[in-house]
Amino acid sequence: MYNLKTQINNISDLFDISKEIRLNILDLYKKANAGHIGSSLSCIELLVYFNLYKSAENDYFILSKGHAAAALYSVLNFKGLVSEKELATFYKEGTFFSAHPPAKGIEGIPFATGSLGHGPSLAAGLALGAKINNTKQNIYCLVSDGECNEGSVWEAAAFAAHNNLNNLTIIVDKNNIQAFGFTKEVMNMENLSERWNVFGWNTAECDGHNFYSIEKAFDKLNKEKNEKPKCIVCNTIKGKGVSFMENTVDWHYLTMNDEQYKIACEEVKNCKPEEYIKK
């Protein structure tokens, strides 16, 4: 078992964890004076739910949108796989904790990511391997909606469906913003859930910040009687939890000054639980 910092008795406990992780991420980015804050904030609940809460020890989790590495590192810290001391090296010279997940040096990170569109193929390989080995493993792969611009995502999607990889779950962090603009203006990926569906996947949509909504969608997928792989399209907000970062392209890259950091932390500390655990 993981040495979790907090006992999880109920799905509503995940709210306190995501809040702590959100604060931890802000702290990491502030100390590093680094960007990609908005991208990490949009997928915290997804990482907490799928990586921290749902993943068993022999499962695999790939953060294909590697630019949200700080969120992953914080979750691994919460799981007891990464120490505070290690986490504090984020962005520093000689660290394993680079801005994107590394190939080696961190337990719980199976593959280096950062160039978009690699995760789904890697995950499909892991899923196929688990099937052939007859091991009960679940493979989770978190992608962004902008990442779905990549052709390789759809090569993997077609392959996984054709090979009945129902041990594979793709989680799409649909925050509607990519590196240089709103997704609908850069490359409109509307009806994303339907696109995965016509590729042969069981799909569901949810509010990607509300743990009950995520659970309901995932339960629906798990009740499907066929062997299709699972895709859960999660509607999220880039920069979630910090009002001046929410839904802006800028906070894909910007770094926080002291005043902004202070405000951001206050807002997270005073956030409304019902946004995260409303039934």
**Can you give the binding site for another protein, defined by CB under 8 A?**
103-104, 110-115, 117-118, 120-130, 132-133, 151-152, 155-156, 158-159, 162-163
DSSP, res 35: -
Side by side, which strands form the sheet with 168-174? 60-63, 139-144, 168-174, 230-235, 202-207
Nearest approach, Cβ of 98 to another protein (angstroms)? 12
DSSP, res 211: H
Alpha carbon distance 100, 61 (integer Å): 15
Of 129 and 181, the one with the shorter C-beta distance to another protein is 129
Of 120 and 208, the one with the shorter C-beta distance to another protein is 120
DSSP run (H or E) holding 119: helix 119-133
Of 113 and 202, the one with the shorter C-beta distance to another protein is 113
Nearest approach, Cβ of 151 to another protein (angstroms)? 7
Give yes or no for a contact between 215 and 49, defined as CB atoms under 8 angstroms apart.
yes
Nearest approach, Cβ of 39 to another protein (angstroms)? 19
Of 80 and 110, the one with the shorter C-beta distance to another protein is 110
Of 163 and 248, the one with the shorter C-beta distance to another protein is 163
Nearest approach, Cβ of 247 to another protein (angstroms)? 31
Nearest approach, Cβ of 139 to another protein (angstroms)? 8
In single-letter form, the type of residue at position 89 comes to T
DSSP run (H or E) holding 85: helix 84-87
Count Cβ neighbours within 10 Å for each residue of 87-100 and write b for 16 or more, e otherwise: bebbeeeebbbbbb
DSSP, res 5: S
